C-alpha cells in the first residue's frame, strides 16, 4: 500500500509535528542532558527543550479547546490555511511564554519562524517552497536572540538544515518530504561535525546538545509527514551520540523512570512493564467515567517500551525522569573529589551509600572509609555532611593532610542538591561556593507519617520552588509513592518531581524543594 505524503504542512500536520517533537524530546531527554557540556555543563538542555515544547503543545490544546467551544453546533474538521496559521501561532505563543533556558529560548524562536512564515505565505501553509524560508527565518531569529552566537552549537546545525532545505527545494518537482528530509540529513551531518568545532565538546568527546535536540525535532517532522517511516537517521545519530558519551560512562542505555496515565487493559500493561523494567506500579486512576490506570516503571529500555505502551492503549501525561546510575559494588570505592558522609553499619547507611555513589560521590561511612576516600582522591576534596554527626570529623580530616572543604548540607536532599551543581571543570573553591548556594536555596523536611508527605510538599511549595525531591523508605513503598506523586501532580502541575526509593531509610520520607 502506498501512502501519499502531504504537499503542505496543514494545521493537522503542524499539530502532529509538535506532538511528535514533544514525545521525541522526552524520549531523548536523558541523552541530550548528558551531552550538555557547553556553555555550562549543567545537564539540562534536554529537560529545557522538552519543557518548552510541552508549553507550546499545551497552549495549542488550550486554543483548540476554546475554538471547539465557540464552534459548538457547527461542522468541524480541518480548515486548511486558517487552521495552519492558528496552530503555528499557538505553538509559538506557548513556546515563547514557557521557554526554559537558552535551548528553550532558541526553540521558541524556531517556532516563531514557523508562525511568521505561515502568516506570510499566500496559502497560509508551509510547502516545499516555504520550508526553506522558514528555516532561514529561524536562523535569523536565533542569531538575533543570542548575545554571543557560537559556531559548533545549534546555530551551526540550524544553518545547515536551512541550506539543505534550500538546495533540495531548488530541484524540479521537489516534494515537501524531499525538502524536509534533506534538512534533517544536513542537520545530522552538521551535528557530527560539532565535536571538532568547540574545545569543550572535543574534550568531552560529545556532539552539541542543542543541535542534537534540533535533529530530534526535524526527525519528528519527517515522521509526521511519513507516518510509520523508519527512524534511521535518528537512530544512527543516537548511536553516534552514545558512542561519544561512552568515554564518560558505561555505554548502556540510561536508567529512566516512566510515569504515565493509561487507558487499556491494566493486566496487559503490567505484564508489559514487568518484561521491560522493575519498580512496576499500576493503580487505578479512580475515574468514574472512562476509568484508566496510573503507571510507574524503572527501565533502561525506554524507547522500545514507550513504543509498545503506545501500541497497547491510550497514553497521556507521560513523564520521564533520569534515575541515578546503577551503583558500583560497595568495595569498588571509585575516586571522587566529593565525599558524602552517611551512617555506617545499618540498612539506612547502605541505602544512602548506594544513592551517593550512584550520584558520583565517594562515601565516608566510617573514619577509615573517609580517610581512604580522601587518599583515593589524590588532591583537594569537598566533604558533604548530609545531616550526619560531625563529632571528630575535623580530627580525621586533619590527619589526612589533604586540603578539605566541608559543606554543611544539613540533610541528604541537601547533599543531592549540592552534587547536582558540581562541575568537574571548576576548581574546588568555586564548586564549594556553588554547592553551598544550592543548599541555601533549598528547603527540606523529614516526614514521619505516611499521610503527611503531600501536606509537607504543599507547605514547602507554598513558599516558592519548582523542583521537588522526595526520598522515600520501605514504609511508604512504590504504591504509596505513586499515590503521593499523583496528588502532587494534580495540586502542583508546574512542579518538577523526582522520587527516589532509599532502602532502610529511617523516616517515611525526606522532602526537598528548590
Where along the chain do the CATH 3.30.70 domains lie? Answer: 256-322
Residue 501 has pLDDT above 70, yes or no: yes
Instruction: Please state which architecture CATH assigns to domain 8-248.
Output: Alpha Horseshoe (1.25)
pLDDT over threshold 80, residue 229: no
pLDDT-wise least confident of 328-337, 384-393, 435-444: 328-337
The CATH architecture to which 256-322 belongs is: 2-Layer Sandwich (3.30)
Give the confidence band of 201 by pLDDT, cuts at 50, 70, 90: confident
Evaluate if residue 457 carries a pLDDT over 70.
Answer: yes
Q: Does the structure show a pLDDT above 70 at 198?
A: yes
- Top-confidence range, 122-126, 250-254, 290-294, 301-305: 122-126
Lowest mean pLDDT of 95-109, 195-209, 246-260, 282-296, name the range: 246-260
Least confident of 252-256, 297-301, 474-478: 252-256
Q: What is the pLDDT of residues 44-98, one digit of tens each?
A: 788 889 989 999 999 999 988 876 666 554 544 444 444 889 999 999 988 887 8
The 3-state secondary structure of 433-472 reads HHHHHHHHCCEEEEECCHHHHHHHHHHHHCCCCCEEEEEE
pLDDT tens per residue across span 146-193: 766 889 999 999 999 999 999 999 988 889 999 999 999 999 989 988
Mean pLDDT of the chain: 80
Which strands sit side by side in the sheet containing 256-263, from one edge to the other?
A: 277-284, 293-299, 256-263, 314-322
Q: What is the pLDDT of residue 322?
A: 57
DSSP 39-95: S---S-HHHHHHHHHHHHHHHHHHHHHHHHHHTTTS--S--THHHHHHHHHHHHHHH
| Residues 255, 298 contacting (CB under 8 angstroms) | yes
What is the predicted pLDDT for the residue at 227? 60
User: Is 245 within 8 Å of 77 (Cβ atoms)?
Assistant: no
Report pLDDT for 243.
36
Quick check: 312 and 295 in contact, CB under 8 A?
Answer: no
Lowest mean pLDDT among 132-141, 190-199, 230-239, 444-453: 230-239
CA 416 to chain centre: 18
Q: Tell me the three-class secondary structure of 201-234, residue by residue.
A: HHHHCCCCHHHHHHHHHHHHHHHHHCCCCCCHHH
CB 128 within 8 A of CB 176: yes
Average pLDDT over residues 205-223: 92
CA-only gyration radius of the chain, Å: 25
Q: Do 46 and 215 form a contact (C-beta atoms < 8 A)?
A: no
Q: Is residue 297 scored above 70 in pLDDT?
A: yes
Lowest mean pLDDT among 200-204, 235-239, 355-359: 235-239
* Confidence band, pLDDT 50/70/90 cuts, at residue 306: confident
Q: Mean per-residue pLDDT for 200-217?
A: 90
Peptide bond into 39 cis (omega under 30): yes
pLDDT of residue 173: 86
Whether the per-residue pLDDT at 285 is higher than 60: the answer is no
- Where residue 329 falls among pLDDT bands split at 50, 70, 90? very low
pLDDT score of 332 more than 60? no
Residues near 9 by beta carbon (within 8 Å), at least 6 away in sequence: 17, 84, 118, 125, 126, 127, 131, 176
Distances from the Cα of 322 to the Cα of 34, 143, 221, 281, 340, angstroms: 10, 31, 26, 18, 21
Q: How is residue 391 written as a grid cell?
A: 563529632
Cell of 323: 534515575
Q: How confident is the model at residue 406 (pLDDT cuts 50, 70, 90)?
A: very high
pLDDT per position as a tens digit, 414-455: 998 998 888 877 788 999 999 999 999 999 999 886 558 888
Looking at the chain, the domain(s) classified CATH 1.25.40.340 span: 8-248
Distance CA 480, CA 476 (A): 5
Compute the CA torsion angle 418, 387, 504, 321 (nearest 10 deg): -20
Amino acid at each position: 500500500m502506498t501512502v501519499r505524503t502531504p504537499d503542505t504542512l496543514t494545521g493537522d500536520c503542524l499539530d502532529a509535528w509538535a506532538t511528535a517533537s514533544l514525545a521525541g524530546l522526552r524520549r531523548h531527554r536523558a541523552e541530550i542532558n548528558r551531552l550538555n557540556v557547553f556553555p555550562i555543563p549543567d545537564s539540562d538542555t534536554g529537560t529545557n527543550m522538552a519543557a518548552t515544547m510541552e508549553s507550546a503543545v499545551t497552549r495549542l490544546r488550550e486554543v483548540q479547546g476554546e475554538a471547539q467551544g465557540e464552534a459548538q453546533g457547527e461542522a468541524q474538521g480541518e480548515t486548511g490555511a486558517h487552521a495552519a496559521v492558528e496552530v503555528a501561532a499557538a505553538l509559538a505563543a506557548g513556546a515563547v511564554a514557557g521557554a526554559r533556558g537558552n535551548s528553550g529560548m532558541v526553540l521558541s524562536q524556531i517556532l516563531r519562524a514557523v508562525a511568521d512564515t505561515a502568516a506570510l505565505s499566500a496559502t497560509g501553509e508551509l510547502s516545499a517552497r516555504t520550508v526553506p524560508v522558514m528555516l532561514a527565518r529561524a536562523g535569523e531569529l536565533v542569531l538575533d536572540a543570542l548575545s554571543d552566537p557560537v559556531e559548533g552549537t545549534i546555530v551551526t546545525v540550524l544553518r545547515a538544515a536551512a541550506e539543505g532545505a534550500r538546495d533540495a527545494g531548488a530541484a524540479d518537482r521537489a516534494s515537501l518530504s524531499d525538502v524536509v528530509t534533506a534538512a534533517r540529513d544536513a542537520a545530522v551531518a552538521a551535528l557530527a561535525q560539532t565535536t571538532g568545532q568547540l574545545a569543550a565538546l572535543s574534550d568531552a568527546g560529545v556532539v552539541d546538545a542543542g543541535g542534537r535536540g534540533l535533529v530530534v525535532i526535524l526527525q519528528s517532522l519527517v515522521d509526521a509527514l511519513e507516518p510509520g517511516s523508519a527512524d534511521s537517521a535518528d537512530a544512527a545519530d543516537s548511536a553516534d551520540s552514545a558512542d561519544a558519551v561512552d568515554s564518560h560512562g558505561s555505554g548502556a542505555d540510561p536508567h529512566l523512570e516512566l510515569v504515565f496515565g493509561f487507558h487499556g487493559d491494566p493486566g496487559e500493561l503490567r505484564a508489559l512493564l514487568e518484561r521491560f523494567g522493575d519498580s512496576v506500579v499500576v493503580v487505578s486512576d479512580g475515574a468514574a467515567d472512562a476509568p484508566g490506570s496510573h503507571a510507574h516503571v524503572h527501565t533502561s529500555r525506554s524507547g522500545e517500551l514507550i513504543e509498545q505502551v503506545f501500541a497497547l492503549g491510550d497514553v497521556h501525561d507521560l513523564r520521564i525522569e533520569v534515575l541515578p546510575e546503577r551503583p558500583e559494588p560497595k568495595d569498588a570505592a571509585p575516586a571522587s573529589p566529593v565525599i558524602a558522609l552517611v551512617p555506617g553499619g545499618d540498612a539506612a547507611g547502605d541505602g544512602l551509600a548506594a544513592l551517593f555513589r550512584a550520584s558520583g560521590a565517594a562515601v565516608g561511612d566510617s573514619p577509615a572509609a573517609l580517610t581512604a576516600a580522601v587518599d583515593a582522591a589524590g588532591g583537594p576534596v569537598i566533604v558533604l555532611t548530609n545531616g550526619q554527626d560531625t563529632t571528630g570529623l575535623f580530627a580525621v580530616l586533619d590527619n589526612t593532610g589533604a586540603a578539605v572543604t566541608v559543606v554543611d548540607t544539613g540533610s541528604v536532599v541537601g547533599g543531592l542538591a549540592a552534587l547536582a551543581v558540581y562541575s568537574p571543570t571548576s576548581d574546588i573553591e568555586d564548586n564549594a561556593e556553588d554547592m553551598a548556594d544550592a543548599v541555601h536555596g533549598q528547603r527540606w523536611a523529614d516526614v514521619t507519617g505516611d499521610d503527611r508527605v503531600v501536606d509537607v510538599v504543599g507547605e514547602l511549595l507554598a513558599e516558592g520552588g519548582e523542583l521537588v525531591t522526595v526520598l522515600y523508605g520501605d514504609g511508604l513503598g512504590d504504591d504509596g509513592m505513586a499515590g503521593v506523586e499523583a496528588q502532587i501532580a494534580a495540586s502542583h502541575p508546574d512542579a518538577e518531581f523526582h522520587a527516589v526509593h532509599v532502602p532502610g531509610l529511617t523516616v517515611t520520607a525526606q522532602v526537598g524543594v528548590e
